[in-house]
Chains A and B, each alone.
Chain A
Amino acid sequence: MSEITPDLVRHLASLSRILVTDEEVATLAGELNVIVDSIAIVTQAVKGDVLATSHPIPMANVFREDVVEPSLTQESALSAAPDSAEGRFRVAAILDEE
């Protein structure tokens, strides 16, 4: 039943930009497998007449009107940023072509 291989854990970690050691990979693979297997068991208990839902409460069409509300000032928007310049957030150059 185990779908979570060490390679998959490494892949997920890389997608999430999280550094993991080999020991952590082994631990995580084990823990994630328990979760996945548990969900598989729950799935078996459900009959075909139950629709998949992404929300526990059946609700739809919650909208806001198209009205402009005050924004942050530039100063406060940047206040929590580790680095900024010229009114903008400053980030490390990431090698990915524009």
Chain B
Amino acid sequence: MAKEALMPYEQAIEQFEVVIGLEVHVELNTKSKMFCGCANIFGNEPNTNVCPICIGLPGSLPAVNKKAVESSIAIGLALGCQIAPTGRFSRKNYFYPDLAKNFQTSQYDEPIAFEGKINIELEDGVVFEVLIERAHMEEDAGKLTHIGGATGRIQGAEYSLVDYNRAGVPLVEIVTKPVYGAGARAPELAAAYVHAIREIVKSMNVSDARMERGNVRCDANVSLRPHGQAKLGTRTETKNVNSLRSVENAVRYEIQRQAHILANGGTITQETRHWHEDRGYTSAGRPKSDADDYRYFPEPDLVPVQPSLAWIEEIRATLPENPGLRRKRLMEAWGFAELEFRDVVNSDLLDQVEATVAAGAAPQAARKWWTGELARLANSQEVAVQDLSITPAQVAKIQQLIDSGELTDRMARDVVAGVLAGEGDPEAVIEKRGLKVVSDDGALIAAIDEALAKQPDVLEKIREGKVQAAGAVIGAVMQAMRGQVDAARVRELILERAK
């Protein structure tokens, strides 16, 4: 299979209206699985987190993980959904070895959350409202590895190996209503939507939200119709698009592919397609047919979930601020330039800067510490800056000592080094390392005299207006005083001398 003929993107957008629909699967980060007590851990030896329930042995009975239900309700609330007063699980029947039971326990006619909406802001600030159809609970399937065949893919494979560690891991599937009106920006909107969902579940700490591990996965539905036509076009569903870039590229590709077919009088086959990131195209999977006749029926082994209003409100009270709104609020409160703010966001340092400001530091000072000196130190130690062993409160304390003149910038860096070396709080480090600003001008003046004696022409130059000549003397004095003086004070004294 290879790339098919495509219509140029601009032309496709001119001729057709794009309608997209997105299904995002979020793996929850509960300690145990959805219906059994096996550990929910990524990367263990195959088939070591399995039990009779998740490998579907006869006679085993599932039991619903309360925390998973709580997280699902929380996700529903964060997406502005209503929470169903009663919901149940259903069996989605299919025969494929990724689930040993021959069905997936899911929700069908009674999802836990429905009818929500979320505002998605694109990079240039344009906002689209995306309506959420439903969010339901289900279980993940096991992992298949296909062995044999030239490409290692399923075609030509001789057999497959199955690891059920992931089978039964709790999933929440979030389904949008059809999204209209995004036009040329549909691919961008699709990626921004997935990004927003990822950010929300991460901020709520209900999922590790690592796309490269499949914690957040997206299926993208795309259909086209001529402008002004009421009836929706036939859609395709591109499966498991697992990075933000893939989401954008896959949607764009489908728009161009379908436009070419439609413009040449062809029809779109309703089918599942697969995205090949390496070569940038989608290929047909199986057409929608018998295989999708799932014969859902209510799961007889599980009773309905009926969250009380009190429980729902309790969960609502634990929801963190929406990440987008939080960014907006902090940007305004801190008064950073856009680039400065973006630097903090991209370095994932919002929490650190916010906590440092809360501990009393000025926003700019807090930003400079985290994105400057601390980022540099983290980089040289090859750790994440968030993992440095210094707290925002300690950073704020050090900044406060600078502001009050008790520490110079250079001494402050020493204090930071001391804290990172495990010497204790800033005060303890100052004590231990004998870091104190010399406030007795006597010693300072002596040091200045000595430095001036070695560079006698400096005072003359300053008098001629070359104030920058003071720099060499300041350096010498700072060195003589081992940095424990305020450079501004040294400069002040030198300039006074030149009068």
Contact = CB atoms under 8 A, between A and B. Distances in A.
B300 A55 contact: yes
Contact of A63 (B37, B55, B65, B291): B65
A54 B301 CA distance: 10
Contacts of B304: 54-55, 59-61
A97 B154 contact: yes
A95 B154 contact: yes
B161 A85 contact: yes
Given A69-B36, A71-B39, 17 more contacts: A54-B298, A54-B300, A61-B304, A63-B66, A64-B66, A66-B67, A69-B51, A71-B38, A71-B50, A86-B161, A87-B46, A88-B162, A89-B47, A89-B164, A95-B155, A97-B285, A98-B144
B210 interface: no
Interface string B196-212: 00000000000000000
A6 B46 CA distance: 43
A93 interface: yes
Contacts of B322: none
18 contacts: A60-B86, A61-B307, A62-B302, A65-B66, A66-B30, A66-B31, A67-B31, A68-B31, A68-B32, A69-B32, A71-B49, A74-B45, A88-B46, A88-B162, A90-B159, A90-B162, A91-B160, A94-B96
Contacts of B57: 80
A93 B146 contact: yes
Contact of B48 (A68, A73, A97): A73
B274 interface: yes
Contacts of B303: 55, 59-62
B37 A64 contact: yes
Contacts of B371: none
B300 to A, nearest CB: 7
B310 to A, nearest CB: 13
B95 interface: yes
A77 to B, nearest CB: 5
B88 A89 contact: no
Contact of A91 (B66, B162, B286): B162
Nearest to B240: A98
Query: Which of B46, B49, B57, B69 lies at the interface centre, i.e. has the most chain A CB atoms within 10 A of its CB?
Result: B46
A92 B55 CA distance: 17
Contacts of A17: 95
Interface string B41-67: 000011111111001010000011111
B229 to A, nearest CB: 31
Interface of A: 11, 14-17, 54-55, 59-74, 77-78, 80, 85-98
By secondary structure, the B interface counts as loop
A8 B258 CA distance: 34
A93 B160 contact: yes
Nearest to A87: B46
Nearest to A88: B161
A94 B302 CA distance: 30
By secondary structure, the A interface counts as loop
Contacts of B347: none
B273 to A, nearest CB: 9
B293 interface: yes
Interface residues of B, number: 63
Contacts of B86: 60
A17 B49 CA distance: 29
A63 B302 CA distance: 10
Contacts of B52: 72
Given A14-B290, A66-B65, A71-B49, A88 B95 contact: no
A85 B305 CA distance: 39
A89 B305 contact: no
B461 interface: no
Contacts of A73: 48
B306 interface: yes
A88 B97 contact: no
B37 A96 contact: no
B39 A90 contact: no
B45 A88 contact: no
A96 B291 contact: yes
Query: Which of A59, A60, A66, A90 lies at the interface centre, i.e. has the most chain B CB atoms within 10 A of its CB?
Result: A66
Contact of B160 (A55, A68, A70, A94): A94
A63 B45 contact: no
A90 B48 contact: no
B68 A87 contact: no
B39 to A, nearest CB: 5
A87 B145 CA distance: 12
Nearest to B303: A59
Q: Which 4 A-B pairs have the closest CB atoms?
A: A69-B37, A66-B67, A54-B298, A63-B66
A78 B291 contact: no
